[in-house]
Structure 1
Amino acid sequence: MNEKIMTGFTDAAQDVLKAMLDLEVEVEAPEKPESSAAKNKVIVAVGLIGDISGETCFCFPEKTALEIVKNMCGMEIEKVDDFVTSALGEISNIICGNAATGLSQQQIACDILPPKISVKDGKTPYEDEESSQVINSTIHTEAGNMGVAIKIEE
């Protein structure tokens, strides 16, 4: 079931990033991500309710965040600010909405909550958790890599 859930989110990310930003996407198989103590990461957390209860977190390193927003608006952006975080929150919200729709077509009821956005240094959410209820993947794009972590509550 966890693989089906992660595939729903990574497929949605691939579709949204291609359609909205014309970015080619390659998804790394779910695994524990490399330690990532990068500075200025934008973390977008979207709550999940329904048959799947928990949270999906998208982690955008600063360079990737700036490149994605540059592709969205067609202008150079030099720092992570409210405009950048808002744009990444919207992209993440669209990805999660599409994933929820795709999962519902597989008879898995899933709804999403509004995104919570933070900019911080340090580790990616759930990086140190040893749980079968946390699934991670990395999405590689021409704009840079982004992490996806899904924590399923029991």
Structure 2
Amino acid sequence: MTDLYGPFLEATRNVFKLMLELNDVSDHPADSFSCDDELDVSIGFIGDLKGEVIYRLPHETSLGIVNIMSGMEFDAVDEFVTSAVSEIANIISGNVLTMLAGEDLTCDILPPVLRKPDESGEYTFHNACCVTTSIGDVCLDIRLNQAE
């Protein structure tokens, strides 16, 4: 199977740099990523790859992203914050699709949904990584299968 980790990491770096002016993006395995107050945004994948990617953001990171995007201060995760963070996840995933198309994989994404990951599924490619920035961490929980 094609390397999927690389495109997700590159797309996240690109979107964070262009939209949020965050240049200090690094990654590490998400072995112990757990947070009580987090926003989980799931983007479904269909086509040559099927499954989902869950963007897991602590509330503090979500608020930092929206504060940068809007130029306003938010102190609670509300509908506006949730919508803005969902759109960032959507943009990152769209960028990943473009990269995968260059490797002859045709996929589409589904609209963002707020939900915890389904731990019962089995995936050919299941990888989680954390992206660390000056405003906090984002965990990408990639759960995909090659379509039959």
TM-score norm. by structure 2 comes to 0.88
5+ long unaligned stretches in structure 2: none
5+ long unaligned stretches in structure 1: 119-123
CA contact (8 A) 1:61 1:145 kept: yes
What is the number of equivalent residue pairs in this alignment? 145
RMSD: 2.1
Residue 135 of structure 1 is aligned with which of 119, 122, 127? 127
Q: Corresponding residue for 1:106?
A: 103
TM-score norm. by structure 1 comes to 0.85
Hey, what's the Cα distance between the residues in 2 that align with 1:52 and 1:60? 24
Q: Over residues 35-73 of structure 1, what are the superposed CA-to-partner deviations in whole Å (9 max), with x where a residue is unaligned? A: 51x222111100001111110000010111111111111
Q: Are residue 7 (structure 1) and residue 14 (structure 2) matched?
A: no
Q: Corresponding residue for 1:71?
A: 68
Q: Over residues 78-112 of structure 1, what are the superposed CA-to-partner deviations in whole Å (9 max), with x where a residue is unaligned? A: 00000000000000000000100111011122211
Distance 1:99 1:48, change over 3 A: same
Q: Corresponding residue for 2:49?
A: 52
- Deviation of 1:10 (Å): 1.3
Q: Are residue 27 (structure 1) and residue 27 (structure 2) matched?
A: yes
CA contact (8 A) 2:124 2:145 kept: no
Partner amino acid for 1:26?
Answer: S
Q: Over residues 3-37 of structure 1, what are the superposed CA-to-partner deviations in whole Å (9 max), with x where a residue is unaligned? A: x1121111111100100000121122xx452051x
Other structure's SS at 1:77 match? coil
CA contact (8 A) 2:41 2:89 kept: yes
Percent of residue pairs identical: 37
